[in-house]
Amino acid sequence: MIVVGLTGGIGSGKSTVARMFSELGVPVYISDIEAGKLMRTAPEIRTAIVALLGEKAYTPGGPDNAYIAGKVFSDRALLGRLNGIIHPAVAAHFRGWYARQHAPYVIKEAAVLFESGGNKECDAVVMVTAPEETRIKRVMQRDTVSREDVLRRIANQWDEKRKEALSDYVIVNTDLEKTERQVRELHPVLSNLEASR
């Protein structure tokens, strides 16, 4: 079964595009949701994060994402160490999920697919793009965060052009109808990848 990575910088519309594939019946794995679940439920992850970032990283209800984000997105080394705790756990969890799917292809959505090396476990990569200013405005509106907060995350992600060059397919997500059309066109291509290999 083919694994298609779905990536794109913050605010590009990965989740929006992932939903469109899901509506076509494609099994979709959303890495940041699963990462969040593992952070909440896996005791060894909690222990490692508390050792890295201190007791404040967790509240009684689970990880304090705002606190963690405040620490790691302004300290590249710290973010690298947090990634080192979370990304291998997500990769292992993905493999278990994958083994239970039955479809011509599955989608693995991950914001930092290339940055984490997750692309190496994909047969093809779809990249979602939108102009940087559009992405910044979308996230500021969606999360009511400052421009600086968004820029700090962008600074910790690879440049769009570098990711585009390494991707097999690019979906430009500015107009939702056009995005939907690109998804509908790509779906049969991805469904037939196995046969065409």
By the criterion CB under 6 A, which residues form the site for ligand ATP?
8, 10-16, 111, 138-139, 142, 173-176, 179
The distance of closest approach from Cβ of residue 30 to ligand COD in the complex, given in angstroms and rounded to an integer, is: 9
Query: How many degrees, rounded to 5, is the angle at CA 95 between CA 94 and CA 99?
Result: 115
CA–CA distance from 103 to each of 3, 122, 173, 191 (Å)? 10, 15, 26, 9
**What distance in Å separates the CA atoms of residue 13 and residue 4, rounded to the nearest whole number?**
16
Is the Cα torsion angle 50, 82, 84, 40 positive or negative in sign?
positive
Closer of 83 and 101 to ligand COD (Cβ): 83
Residue 193 near which of ligand COD, ligand ATP, none (CB within 5-8 Å, type-dependent): none
Q: Does 35 bind ligand COD (CB under 6 A)?
A: yes
Q: Which listed range, 16-24, 79-87, 94-102, 160-168, lies at the site for ligand COD (CB under 6 A)?
A: 79-87
CA 151 to chain centre: 17
**What distance in Å separates the CA atoms of residue 8 and residue 25, rounded to the nearest whole number?**
21
Give the bridge partners for 124, in sequence order.
4
Number of H helices, E strands in the chain: 11, 7
Closer of 166 and 193 to ligand COD (Cβ): 166
Q: Does 156 bind ligand COD (CB under 6 A)?
A: yes
Which residue of 2, 26, 31, 58 would you call a contact of ligand COD, by CB under 6 A?
31
The distance of closest approach from Cβ of residue 55 to ligand ATP in the complex, given in angstroms and rounded to an integer, is: 27
Contacts to ligand COD by CB under 6 A = 10, 31-32, 35, 65, 68-69, 72, 79, 82-83, 86, 90, 110-112, 153, 156-157
